[in-house]
Amino acid sequence: MKFVFATLAAAAAVAGSVTSPLTINTPLNAVVCQPLLINWGGGTPPLFLNLNLISFSSILPGNQPSAAALLDFGEVSGDQLTWVVNVTAGTSLGLNLRDSAGFLAQSSPFTVQKSRNTACLRK
């Protein structure tokens, strides 16, 4: 009886420590100078988010998952972040999210839509 209890307790402890797979959602409606909600789930904290030109890691250049990040959000907490899209219309982007265990989640490519407001692009 003690063995059964110990086995069940050990199994419960292991089950409680298992994290869900790291995922990142592909954002919808990325519009120049508008806030964009980026959200994710799972993984082992801390998490690190990058934006790429469809590339790799962070906000990446389109169709280039291994390109250098356009924007590195650094370490992120929680399960979401709001970013004011400060990239020109027509740019194809991708998101990379990496956790502390080294797992990588990537969004599908998405394209920035035009807006009448371009104030955030001016320096």
76 domain-assigned: yes
14 domain-assigned: no
Terminal CA-to-CA distance of the chain, rounded, Å?
A: 71
Q: Give how many domains the chain has, as a whole number.
A: 1
Answer whether residue 7 shows pLDDT above 60.
Answer: no
Stretch among 5-9, 41-45, 49-53, 61-65 having the lowest mean pLDDT: 5-9
For residue 63, how many other CB atoms are within 10 A of its CB? 13
Return the CATH number at 70. Answer: 2.60.40.2840
Say what percent of the chain tops pLDDT 70. 73
Stretch among 52-56, 75-79, 90-94, 104-108 having the lowest mean pLDDT: 52-56
51 domain-assigned: yes
Q: Which domain holds residue 84?
A: 19-121
27 domain-assigned: yes
**DSSP strand E in the chain: where?**
23-24, 35-41, 47-55, 59-64, 71-76, 80-84, 92-99, 104-106, 110-111
